[in-house]
Structure 1
């Protein structure tokens, strides 16, 4: 009887703990269901209707929204710009962030904490505010960049950096690299600080130079983490909205238009009535493309992790 009573008491304590665990999880679960899962499911439903976002769903049109998305040259223009933005952000930013992380991780550098803070400040600054400020900095007449370039004699007349199709996307990419540079640097810095120092000490004893240590120790050990950083950076870079919205609003002539901005324009700024059904179809189509890329990068991450385990 004593054992039964003890077991019953333990069972009540366990049920009580589980109750409080689920109670604390409940608010997060409700928010997830209401603001994440439900909108995702309904986006698929809306994509099959000619729906403005107001009133009941009545006009079922099947896959017509998807067909119109595929046939719209402006969608493919935004699609192309999104991938150009992602490509240069990843190709330029990740190596530079790695070099900066190695520098900040060095023992000889004084004031490393200050430099880390300075490089990370743009990350915590509101993107929309940065976009507005950059619009003034690259202004065509009294912009800071034009003023400096004219004073040192590089240009003779102001350049409309954000008003030209030749330079607008380049400026947006440059600002995007600067804005998120600190986050990638922190990723690399955390990875570098997790590497075993014993390997470097052993290599130093064997007469290996700093370049050899970097090539034969740092790079192989960073590959698995680097694959994850590549995956995160790629997916994040494919979703750019607030920076472009505040800097160029997709102009000039849609030369800086991105898919997120394209979807927003149809969902909330449609000519006449918004087209939420069409915007949902475009978003799902783009989401599938990102999912495909994520799966490929995920396979690379898994393989690099397997190689590390094998070693």
Structure 2
């Protein structure tokens, strides 16, 4: 039975939407509603097209030309820019630094936030709502401001870190001025900045576990470590895959924090791919927009691989959830 027939059977005497007396009025009302929807969406569509879609499309063209960004002259060079980028050892250094940065940040955020979420998810913990807010507060703080403040805090001459080191008799410590510690320091600040969002992911995942399973396990005499091993971990395994991929993808967008803290220094030891692109596009004596666009396209392909892996992880997580529920 169709929905119209069912409506007529349940509510006899009420005209159906497909009836001749309501069809023109219903269609007119539907057109007016859709018109308002598109009217409200239009500013977003226009701005998204101008500031997101157009720059992405233009970067592909700029990657095929030699252009300094100021003159009207654009010389078509084909894939020459890509060859120069691939042949540049600094590009591969930026790729390596980005990967090292990701390998530092991802385990700390994923597993550290998991332990914290397990603690904050306990109903026995007092002031759990306060602690959740406190850990999430850095997430909503502007990243560039965090970088500037942290640079002041870690200043070896006048920052609080220098004062503490002097009291402890450690001497001057320049964490951001040394090539051996700058990347690790910036990575730890990045972990602290976005630790709260990963914690929220885990808290949301923990809320999906039915409490009946815990109650049944306690009635059967299971201890805390047995409940964690046989209920919590298997139920959270699908979420581990998704949260890890999301964190890995997020590590490719650390430009604002790294630029405000180190600007890629010292000696290019913290120059991730985004700063490498920025340096050639805007910070060079003679900007090379074509070269920078080619590097950006290659970086986009790398991110696209991560996005494809994220799609696979999401599908795999759904299959795992069906197997555990």
TM-score (normalised: structure 1): 0.94
The structure 2 residue matched to 1:210, chosen from 199, 224, 237, is 224
Q: Offset of 1:57 from its aligned partner?
A: 5.5
**Does the 8 Å CA contact 2:68/2:288 hold for their aligned counterparts?**
yes
What residue is the counterpart of 1:252 in the other structure?
Answer: 266
Distance 1:58 1:129, change over 3 A: closer
What residue is the counterpart of 2:241 in the other structure?
Answer: 227
Note the aligned Cα RMSD (angstroms): 1.6
Q: Deviations over 1:224-263 (max 9, x none)?
A: 2222222221111111111111111111100011111111
Q: Deviations over 1:5-57 (max 9, x none)?
A: 32111111112222222222222111121111111111101100001223445
Q: Offset of 1:115 from its aligned partner?
A: 0.9
What residue is the counterpart of 1:179 in the other structure?
Answer: 193
**Does the 8 Å CA contact 1:161/1:171 hold for their aligned counterparts?**
yes
Q: Confirm or deny that 1:294 pairs with 2:304.
A: no
Q: Offset of 1:205 from its aligned partner?
A: 1.1
Matches of 1:89 and 1:115 in 2, distance apart?
A: 22
The structure 2 residue matched to 1:80, chosen from 65, 81, 96, is 96
**Does the 8 Å CA contact 2:144/2:256 hold for their aligned counterparts?**
yes
Matches of 1:267 and 1:136 in 2, distance apart?
A: 28
Matches of 1:6 and 1:135 in 2, distance apart?
A: 67
Q: Deviations over 1:75-130 (max 9, x none)?
A: 11111111111111111111010111111110111111111121112111111111
What residue is the counterpart of 1:190 in the other structure?
Answer: 204
SS of match in other structure, 2:173: coil
What residue is the counterpart of 1:38 in the other structure?
Answer: 54
Matches of 2:47 and 2:307 in 1, distance apart?
A: 26
Structure 1 residues 66-75 or 129-138, which shifts more? 129-138
What residue is the counterpart of 2:10 in the other structure?
Answer: none
Structure 1 residues 53-62 or 191-200, which shifts more? 53-62
Matches of 2:323 and 2:234 in 1, distance apart?
A: 13
Q: Deviations over 1:195-227 (max 9, x none)?
A: 211111111111111222122211222222222
What residue is the counterpart of 2:255 in the other structure?
Answer: 241
1:99-114 alignment, distance < 5 Å = 99-114=115-130
TM-score (normalised: structure 2): 0.90
Distance 1:57 1:9, change over 3 A: farther
Aligned residue pairs total: 307
Q: Offset of 1:307 from its aligned partner?
A: 2.2
Q: Confirm or deny that 1:267 pairs with 2:281.
A: yes
Q: Confirm or deny that 1:61 pairs with 2:77.
A: yes
What residue is the counterpart of 2:27 in the other structure?
Answer: 11
What residue is the counterpart of 2:289 in the other structure?
Answer: 276
**Does the 8 Å CA contact 2:245/2:313 hold for their aligned counterparts?**
no
**Does the 8 Å CA contact 1:231/1:298 hold for their aligned counterparts?**
no
Q: Offset of 1:149 from its aligned partner?
A: 2.9
**Does the 8 Å CA contact 2:117/2:199 hold for their aligned counterparts?**
yes
Q: Deviations over 1:142-169 (max 9, x none)?
A: 332232133234x2x2122111111111
Matches of 1:297 and 1:36 in 2, distance apart?
A: 21
Q: Confirm or deny that 1:124 pairs with 2:140.
A: yes
- Bigger relative contact order, structure 1 or 2, given CA contacts below 8 A and separation 6+? 1
SS of match in other structure, 1:4: coil
